[in-house]
Amino acid sequence: MQFEIAKEKAMDWWQDICCLTASIIDEPQTLDDALKNEYSNEWRSAADTEYHALMKNGTWKLVPRQKGMKVLGNRWIFRVKYLPNREIERFKARLVVKGFMQVYGVDYFEVYSPVVRLETLRMLLTLAAIWDYEVDQMDLTTEFLNGPIGGEIYMDQPEGFVETGKEDYVSVQVIDGELVFISIYVDDLILFAPNKKLMKELKQMLHMRFEMKDLGPIHYILGWEITRHREERTVFINQRKYADKVLHRFGMESCKGCKVPSTPNLKLSKVMCPTTTEEKELMSEKPYRAVIGSLMYLMLGTRPDLAYLVRECSQFLKNPGILHWRAAKRGLRYLKETLDWCLKLGGAQWSETVLDDHLKAFADADFANRVDDRKSIAGYITQLCESTISWASPTERTVALHTTEAEYMALSLLVQEVIHLRHMLKELKVKQTKPSEVFVDNESARKLANNPEFHSRTKHIDVRHHFVRERVERKEITVTRVAGVENVADTFTKPLPRAKFEQH
């Protein structure tokens, strides 16, 4: 199997948990809920900690409410952070301003927070596994208080912390040799260092500038549960806890599982959308968007096998029909069947290998797949040392006139991704001295990429796709034909029957 979504090894502790949901605490939605919760003391302590941190940083001062002020609301967000063994690490509370009440261009302009791309994070974890790097995690305390913003922002006082005697006041802020990596996702930092000594020095440097919380070796980030087997130079990432939470949220925790995410040979279309008032009212009661959004979050993180289903169902978010809803529920049934699947990265066999030519990729397309407009579906997957790094199942932007064109357009999308990953590897000092091998199962597309001559049936193809040839000539990629049964990108272009799906 070219990309591996496999059952994680050495996970005996998982079997010791009779019911996953027993270890998951319901997170309150409001401060009132938190104070009525059985863990009210813990939630109150977490809110106190957040409030005192805001006060320590001088986040606001109280001023009288004036007529004409645009005063924003706020709310408390409560979360539980768990250790790898499912024990509670800590209770977290965050106060957030309801920024959706602001108007772009009037109340604010550009906003930005550093967010690592998920494929970059998977690449870093793959390299860390192969190189046996230390991987630790740190949290930047009250991260958003470190960044400047312009102008004045007025906010209601936080619920539960209204100052006596100033109940009608609002808050205001006026603010005019060795290789190591730091990956940043807003306020979560992942540190990569070749040994414990350098890791310690790196943390000390960060502590000198920011108030940081040292979370130790990484085990949970962005909803990913991360397990390392250092003797095997592997990292396993999964979203079991989130997936189980999704099943319970939609009442599918006891459903009958299924082996493939999409019904073979079934193509969704607009014809299946409701047209009568009765049909639309029936579908309005279904949490279609929420289900697809939940599956999409899983797909983007650790479940490439959900990519085709999510793309198909996402076309009908505005007006889904009963068949679309059944397709979404099938995705949940498939999730139930594959709850213990995870993504494997790294491997000891690569530890002594020069990684200058081990970035490989596969592209495929299903010609005129979409019933409504006859656009083709592209699919691709990239791998570093056989570890899955990125994937996609996009609809091609224009209608292809024949299979070769559809395959060539899919190849173009893939090559853009490969070039990006090559640049990223170079930044990580993994020199790419050899071209990356790109596989397609269409011989005509391969010839078109390698042959600079235009042919009568392909001369209309948009120039932007022909940069593939340029990259071939620069020796950044080579385009090689692979048998269709061995092309793992096939999974992203059409609903496959079980035998073919499991083969990939």
Contacts of 59 (CB under 8 A, 6+ apart): 145, 171, 173
- How many Cα atoms sit within 13 Å of 411 on the Cβ side? 33
In the structure, what pLDDT confidence band is assigned to residue 320 with cuts at 50, 70 and 90? very high
- Are 219 and 245 members of one domain? no
Same-domain check for residues 270 and 149: no
- Same domain? 198 vs 73: yes
Distance separating alpha carbons of residues 20 and 324, to the nearest angstrom: 30
State whether residue 312 is helix, strand or coil: helix
* Nearest C-alpha neighbor of 187 from the set 227, 145, 158, 225: 145
Is 330 found in the same domain as 372? no
Contacts of 439 (CB under 8 A, 6+ apart): 360, 361, 362, 363, 479, 480, 481, 482, 487
Q: Which tens digits make up the pLDDT trace of 183-232? A: 888 778 888 888 998 899 888 888 887 778 889 999 988 889 999 999 99
CATH number at residue 404: 3.30.420.10
- 203 and 116 in one domain? yes
Task: Kindly state whether residues 227 and 245 are assigned to the same domain.
Answer: no
Q: Which of 222, 238, 254 represents a domain boundary (last residue)? A: 238
Q: How far apart are CA 171 and CA 177, in angstroms?
A: 48
Q: Are residues 295 and 403 located together in one domain of the fold? A: no
Domain-located, residue 342? no
- The domain tally of the chain equals 3
Q: What is the pLDDT of residues 98-112, one digit of tens each?
A: 766 666 554 544 555
Q: Are residues 317 and 442 in the same domain?
A: no
Show the domain range for 459: 354-503
Mean pLDDT, rounded, of the chain: 82
Asked if residue 37 has pLDDT above 80, the reply is yes
Provide φ and ψ at 2, rounded to 5°: -70, -40
95, 228: one domain:
yes
Q: Looking at the structure, tell me whether residues 188 and 64 fall in a common domain.
A: yes
10-24, 118-132, 187-201: lowest mean pLDDT where? 10-24
